[in-house]
Amino acid sequence: MQTIAIYHNKGGVGKTTTAINLAAAFRKMGQRVLLIDLDSQANSSFGTGLVKFQFEEEDDLVGRNVYQLLESVDFNFIPDLVRKSSGFNQPEIDVIPAHISLIEKQSKLSAFVNTRWRLDKKIQQVKDDYDIVILDAPPARDLYAEIALIAADYLIIPSDMKPFANQGLNNVKSFISEVNETRSAIDKSPLEVLGVLASKILPNTRYLTHTFPRQRDSVINRYGFPILETIIYERVSLAHCVNQTISVGMFDIPNPTSIFEFDEACESAKEFRSLAQEVMNKLGV
């Protein structure tokens, strides 16, 4: 089992798009995949089809989400909380969803040091059930991001390569250093960065010729991170697949799909297949 965190402390860089479609790509390759959403915005939970309710009283995530996984060492294990994605991918993937209530509950979890490595221990309990675990970490330097980086073996850092995203890599680097101190204390090896993933990149010839190479070089030379070869371009298909709906009575219910279910022959699907294969190669699988 390999555990991969998807993290950048800058929002809007394609983090969730990467997490859900990389998970779908691995599943299409025959891998047994678990996606754990640690972001209170619950975008991965929405993107995998688990937010198909219109009113609060219909919310079936509130008492069965990643918070319950983190709150105790003695109960609420992954098999108790996991659910299948809904209409997202064929085959579907296993998901531990997030919830907006994670925001208010962070202070309670922060009071206990052991909370920080509880997810790691619970993931290890299902190491024979999954080949790949993907952790969608929040775009912040908070407890949930720390938990994700402690539990992961590897890290992918999506970035649109724009100035603020690149400047934020210094924060990512120092955060990794802090997390590695904790990992050392619990006898875990340092987190391995697979690379910065160029995502939401405009497929504009002039930009790709003149600006993009300088941005990539900056990541390597100024911030010291490797770059993944695969590029995820900003395409209409990636926006459309997550915005699919179905009509149920008087309401349009969200019905997001992976890029592969939306159009398996499109360029974005090819890019995510390429990313999955590149990651597999780096993991030696």
What percentage of the chain carries pLDDT values higher than 70?
99
Q: What is the pLDDT of residue 112?
A: 82
Higher pLDDT, 22 or 223: 22
245 pLDDT exceeds 80?
Answer: no
What dotted CATH number matches 2-279?
Answer: 3.40.50.300
pLDDT classification of 11: cutoffs 50, 70, 90: confident
- Ranking 56-60, 138-142, 192-196, 232-236 by mean pLDDT, the lowest is 56-60
- Ranking 30-34, 47-51, 278-282 by mean pLDDT, the lowest is 47-51
What value, to the nearest 5°, has the Cα angle with vertex 208 and ends 207 and 210? 65
CA-CA distances (angstroms) from residue 169 to 161, 200, 223, 238? 10, 17, 7, 25
Query: What DSSP element (H or E) covers 105?
Result: helix 102-110
CA-CA distances (angstroms) from residue 235 to 157, 177, 257, 266? 20, 34, 15, 10
pLDDT classification of 252: cutoffs 50, 70, 90: confident
Separation of alpha carbons 32 and 24, rounded Å: 10
pLDDT classification of 243: cutoffs 50, 70, 90: confident
Give yes or no for a contact between 39 and 7, defined as CB atoms under 8 angstroms apart: no
Q: What is the pLDDT of residue 137?
A: 96
Average pLDDT over residues 179-195: 96
Q: What is the pLDDT of residue 232?
A: 97
Average pLDDT over residues 216-227: 92
Q: Which of 275, 284, 187 is nearest to 238 (CA)?
A: 275
242 pLDDT exceeds 90?
Answer: no
The per-residue pLDDT of the chain, averaged, comes to 92
pLDDT classification of 163: cutoffs 50, 70, 90: confident
Please give the structure tokens belonging to residue 263. Answer: 């159009």
Q: Are strands 83-84 and 245-248 parallel, antiparallel or unpaired?
A: unpaired
What percentage of the chain carries pLDDT values higher than 90?
76
Q: What is the pLDDT of residue 45?
A: 94
Q: What is the pLDDT of residue 52?
A: 72
Separation of alpha carbons 20 and 33, rounded Å: 11
2 pLDDT exceeds 90?
Answer: yes
| pLDDT digits 0-9 by tens, 48-106 | 999 877 777 777 788 889 999 999 888 999 999 999 999 999 999 999 999 999 999 89
142 pLDDT exceeds 90?
Answer: yes
